[in-house]
Amino acid sequence: MSEHYYSRNPSVESKQQSFSYTLRGHSLTFTTDQGVFSKAEIDFGSRLLIDSIQIGNVAGNILDVGCGYGPIGITIAKEFPDRVVEMVDVNERALGLAEQNAKNNAVENIEVYYSNALNDVRQERYAAVITNPPIRAGKKVVHEIFEEGFNRLVVGGDLWIVIQKKQGAPSAIEKLKTLTPLVETVAKSKGYFILKATRKSS
């Protein structure tokens, strides 16, 4: 059976590397490794999502689902130091890197912990849920993340998603429209869609 970046304990040999990016005006350095998503660079979709996210005035923590080694959650935590950003992943190696990267970038307003999708998240409600979903896990899993993420929002909270057109953006939009009429395509670039779904009522 082939191993993916959403394996809990990747068996591929560790071979760490580091690189730096300027994200939302913050100079950040990330260490990555084999066995995690987009180990050679921050993928274009994640960067587009980072650039597009807006956090509203509703109270609550922010949740990064499938955080990998942490570029999205750490950048948002750096940008919004008054918020707690919870970063979850199924990949234990990625979680270790996310903790290391947060420390190396002097980001303290985060909580990094294991969760299989949203099964183990700690709060009932979040001000925002952000995900670059594990497309290779399949449409059923991805759409479950959308639904569970949306259901964890406070009223007025937003679900933020990046997904490529060829990997199911149109069906993602249709899925989101079954959850709320407030679905917006915030950005499109190079085949990537940034989608926002807002919780209108409880």
Rounded Cα gap, residues 70 and 31, in angstroms: 9
In this prediction, residue 14 carries a pLDDT of 82
Reported as a single tens digit per residue, the pLDDT across 81-103 is 999 999 999 999 999 999 999 99
Rounded Cα gap, residues 109 and 111, in angstroms: 7
Q: Does position 5 have pLDDT exceeding 50, yes or no? A: no
Rounded Cα gap, residues 193 and 175, in angstroms: 14
Query: How much of the chain exceeds pLDDT 90, in percent?
Result: 85
In this prediction, residue 2 carries a pLDDT of 38
User: Can you give the pTM of this predicted structure?
Assistant: 0.93
* Residue 8 pLDDT grade (very low, low, confident, very high; cuts 50, 70, 90): low
Query: How much of the chain exceeds pLDDT 70, in percent?
Result: 94
Question: For strand 62-65 and strand 183-189, is the pairing parallel, antiparallel, or unpaired?
Answer: unpaired
In this prediction, residue 7 carries a pLDDT of 56
Reported as a single tens digit per residue, the pLDDT across 111-169 is 999 999 999 999 999 999 999 998 888 999 999 999 999 999 999 999 999 999 999 99
* Structure tokens, 102: 């947060």
Q: Does position 4 have pLDDT exceeding 70, yes or no? A: no
